[in-house]
Amino acid sequence: MKQLDDVKISVLDLCPIVEGGTAADAFRDSLDLVRHAERLGYERYWVAEHHNIPGVASAATSVVIGQLAAATSRIRVGAGGIMLPNHAPLVIAEQFGTLASLFPGRIDLGLGRAPGGDQATAKALRRYFQEVDSFPVDVRELQGYFRPAKPGRLVRAIPGEGLDVPIWLLGSSDFGARLAADMGLPYAFASHFAPDHLFDSLAIYRESFVPSETLDRPHAMIGVNAFVADTDEAAARLFTSHQQMILHLVRGRPGLLPPPVDDLERLWTPPERAAVERMTRVTVVGAPETVRARLQSLVNAAQPDEMIFSGHIYDHAARLRSYELLMQACRTTPVAAG
């Protein structure tokens, strides 16, 4: 049985824009957080592509990754993920070939099938929802651009060709699980916001996995929301910012990340509360001892190879502290931030 100490742990950052803040503030905070995560020993630091969402600053994902990688020296930095339906595979191969050339051995490319926005946003991106059906073909085309040159190849990714850029498939249903298994690729499940099919998808991925040049056995990562503080009560209060953010999504009115509140009951109806709680089921909240016990239970149930943690916390200092305490919760050997 896998133990929490054996599971690699990483950070997922959407570069949240808080109420009263700007995108510039969000990027400064992310640069500070990635350095902090590297000092603490996190495995990866991923940012995700979203469009037309007021509280998310990571839309130009490749640009952000370049800045994060330049600010660090060891931690792997990448996309969790790039929404491939929005892009020509050649363009992504060139972008990540550039990043891998600038920061060799440190760049990850996670690919998602969702468009990362609504229909109007997809139209503004000059891409359309029906093109989601081409996702498996696009992934294979993208893989081809990273392979060494062959005589007669008409279109080449320069840079990109011949570079080792690890590709992950992301998903929140069995579609991504089956495709990752069929292609022999690592798989990351978005359980931090869409937990409904977590265990079914992991089972399908593991049972259907076909070894490849990339992997000889399944390798699964799961997303987890984490809010850690010195006391359970303080952590629960931090979590209220994220709960409000999800509530705004449920209402179809996404906004900036709000400050924590003392009483959520006055803000939502019982059906809205149920919807928020369903979407945030894979979340740990509390002091390090509380969080460690809950994470070990999750590891027992899901048996992940890696966990990637998202923490939408309004106060930057509290966010830094949360990731420090989270690392302490995940490792029996004490970890210092120095």
**What does the H/E/C string look like for the chain?**
CCCHHHCEEEEEECCECECCCCHHHHHHHHHHHHHHHHHHCCCEEEECCCCCCCCECCCCHHHHHHHHHHCCCCCEEEEEEEEHHHCCHHHHHHHHHHHHHHCCCCEEEEEECCCCCCHHHHHHCCCCHHHHHHHHHHHHHHHHHHCCCCCCCCCCCCCCCCCCCCEEEEECCHHHHHHHHHHCCCEEECCCCCCCCHHHHHHHHHHHCCCCCCCCCCCEEEEEEEEECCCHHHHHHHHHHHHHHHHHHHCCCCCCECCCCCCCCCCCCHHHHHHHHHHCCCEEEECHHHHHHHHHHHHHHHCCCEEEEECCCCCHHHHHHHHHHHHHHHCCCCCCCC
**Preceding amide of 66 cis, omega within 30:** no
Which sign does the torsion angle of CA 108, 79, 16, 194 carry?
negative
pLDDT in tens, the chain (338 residues): 889 999 999 999 999 999 999 999 999 999 999 999 999 999 999 999 999 999 999 999 999 999 999 999 999 999 999 999 899 999 999 999 999 999 999 999 999 987 655 677 777 776 655 545 789 999 999 999 999 988 888 999 999 999 989 999 999 999 999 999 999 999 999 999 999 999 999 999 999 999 999 999 999 999 999 999 999 999 999 999 999 999 999 999 999 999 999 999 999 999 999 999 999 999 999 999 999 999 999 999 999 999 999 999 999 999 999 999 999 999 986 555 54
159 prior amide bond cis, ω within 30: yes
Tokens of 147: 């392979």
Per-residue pLDDT, 79: 98
Say which amino acid occupies 197.
Answer: H
How far apart are alpha carbons 201 and 221 in whole angstroms? 12
Q: Which residues have CB under 8 Å from 336's CB, separation 6+? A: none
**Cα→Cα distances 233→73, 221, 236, 240, 292, Å:** 36, 29, 5, 11, 16
Contacts of 59 (CB under 8 A, 6+ apart): 49, 50, 51
Which of these, 24, 64, 18, 20, lies nearest to 45 by C-alpha position? Answer: 64
The structural domains of the chain, ordered by start, are 4-330 (3.20.20.30)
pTM for the whole thing?
A: 0.94
